[in-house]
Amino acid sequence: MSEIKYLKTPLTDSEIKSLKSGDIVYLSGTIYTGRDAAHKRLVEAIANKTELPFDLQGSAIYYVGPTPPKPDQPIGSCGPTSSYRMDPYSEALMQKGLKMMIGKGPRSSEFKEQIKKYGAVYLSAIGGTGAKIQEAVKKSEVIAYPDLGAEAVHKLEVENFYAIVTYDSEGNDLFEKGIATYRKTKN
Amino acid sequence: MRKLDLNLVTQAVKKMLIEACEKIPVNVIERLREAKEKEANPLGKSILDQIIENGLLAMTRHVPICQDTGMVVCFLEIGSQVVFDGDIYEAINRGVREAYIDGYLRKSVVRHPLDRVNTKDNTPAIIHTKIIPGETVKITVAPKGAGSENMSLVKMLIPADGIEGIKKLVLDTIFNAGGKPCPPIIVGIGLGGNLEKSAFLAKEAVLREIDDEATDPIARQLEQELLQEINDLGVGPMGLGGTVTALAVKVNTYPCHIASLPVAINIQCHASRHKSVVL
Q: Are residues B109 and B176 both part of a single domain?
A: no
Q: What's the pLDDT tens digit per position in A4-32?
A: 999 999 999 999 999 999 999 999 999 99
Find the mean pLDDT for residues A179-184.
Answer: 95
Q: Are residues B153 and B79 both part of a single domain?
A: no
What pLDDT is recorded for position B245?
A: 97
Statement: residue A187 has pLDDT above 60: no
Q: Are residues B187 and B259 both part of a single domain?
A: yes
Q: How confident is the model at residue A185 (pLDDT cuts 50, 70, 90)?
A: confident
Measure CB to CB from residue A81 to each of B69, B116, B147 and give the nearest one.
B147
- In a domain? residue B265: yes
CB contact under 8 A, B63 and A76: yes
Query: Rounded CA gap, B188 and B226, in Å?
Result: 11
Last residue of a domain, one of B115, B144, B173: B144
CB contact under 8 A, A183 and B234: yes
CB contact under 8 A, A185 and B232: yes
Domain tally, chain B = 2
Single-letter amino acid code for the residue at A178: G
Q: What's the pLDDT tens digit per position in A107-120?
A: 999 999 999 999 99
Q: Are residues B128 and B161 both part of a single domain?
A: no
Provide CB contacts within 8 A for B32, sequence distance 6+.
B48, B51, B52, B55, B184, B247, B270
Residue A69 DSSP symbol = P
Provide CB contacts within 8 A for B235, sequence distance 6+.
A179, B174, B175, B178, B179, B183, B241, B242, B245
Provide CB contacts within 8 A for B90, sequence distance 6+.
none
ipTM rounded to 2 decimals:
0.93
CB contact under 8 A, A178 and B182: no
Measure CB to CB from residue A106 to each of B120, B171, B180 and give the nearest one.
B180
Size of interface A-B (CB pairs under 8 A): 172
Q: What's the pLDDT tens digit per position in B163-175?
A: 999 999 999 999 9
- Give the global pTM: 0.94
Q: How confident is the model at residue B108 (pLDDT cuts 50, 70, 90)?
A: very high
- To test the contact with chain A by mutation, choose from B23, B36, B67 the residue with the greatest count of A C-beta atoms within 10 A, namely B67
| Per-state percent for chain A, helix, strand, coil, to nearest 5 | 35, 30, 40
CATH number at residue B84: 3.30.360
Backbone angles phi, psi at A25, to 5 degrees: -115, 135
Chain A: give the shortest CA distance to residue B183, in Å: 9
Find the mean pLDDT for residues B230-259.
Answer: 97
Q: Are residues B14 and B133 both part of a single domain?
A: yes
Q: What's the pLDDT tens digit per position in A43-100?
A: 999 999 999 999 999 999 999 999 999 998 999 999 999 999 999 999 999 999 999 9
Q: Are residues B9 and B136 both part of a single domain?
A: yes
Statement: residue A1 has pLDDT above 90: no
Single-letter amino acid code for the residue at B207: L
Q: Are residues B157 and B251 both part of a single domain?
A: yes
Stretch (H or E) spanning A29:
strand A24-33
- In a domain? residue B211: yes
Provide CB contacts within 8 A for B170, sequence distance 6+.
B187, B189, B226, B230, B263, B265
Find the mean pLDDT for residues B84-113.
Answer: 96
Q: How confident is the model at residue A129 (pLDDT cuts 50, 70, 90)?
A: very high
Q: Are residues B135 and B239 both part of a single domain?
A: no
Last residue of a domain, one of B111, B144, B177: B144
What pLDDT is recorded for position B77?
A: 97
What pLDDT is recorded for position B271?
A: 85
Single-letter amino acid code for the residue at B137: V
Domain limits at B225? 147-273
> Taking the CA of residue A76 as centre, how many other CA atoms within 13 Å lie in the half-sphere pointing to its CB?
25
CB contact under 8 A, A131 and B232: no
Statement: residue B56 has pLDDT above 80: yes
Single-letter amino acid code for the residue at B14: K
| Chain B CA closest to residue A64 | B67
Last residue of a domain, one of B144, B172, B187: B144
Angle at A161 between CA A158 and CA A162, to 5 degrees: 175
CB contact under 8 A, A104 and B179: yes
Q: What is the mean pLDDT of chain A?
A: 95
| Chain B CA closest to residue A127 | B182
Q: Are residues B15 and B96 both part of a single domain?
A: yes
Q: Helix, strand, or coil here: A34?
A: coil
CATH number for domain A4-182, candidates 3.30.460.80, 3.20.130.10, 3.40.50.12780, 3.40.50.2300:
3.20.130.10
Residue A97 contacts B, CB cutoff 8 Å: no
- In a domain? residue B165: yes
CB B152 within 8 A of CB B122: no
Measure CB to CB from residue A179 to each of B62, B118, B235 and give the nearest one.
B235
Residue A180 contacts B, CB cutoff 8 Å: yes
Q: Are residues B104 and B159 both part of a single domain?
A: no
Q: Are residues B165 and B123 both part of a single domain?
A: no
Q: Are residues B140 and B154 both part of a single domain?
A: no
What pLDDT is recorded for position B227?
A: 97
Q: How confident is the model at residue B270 (pLDDT cuts 50, 70, 90)?
A: confident
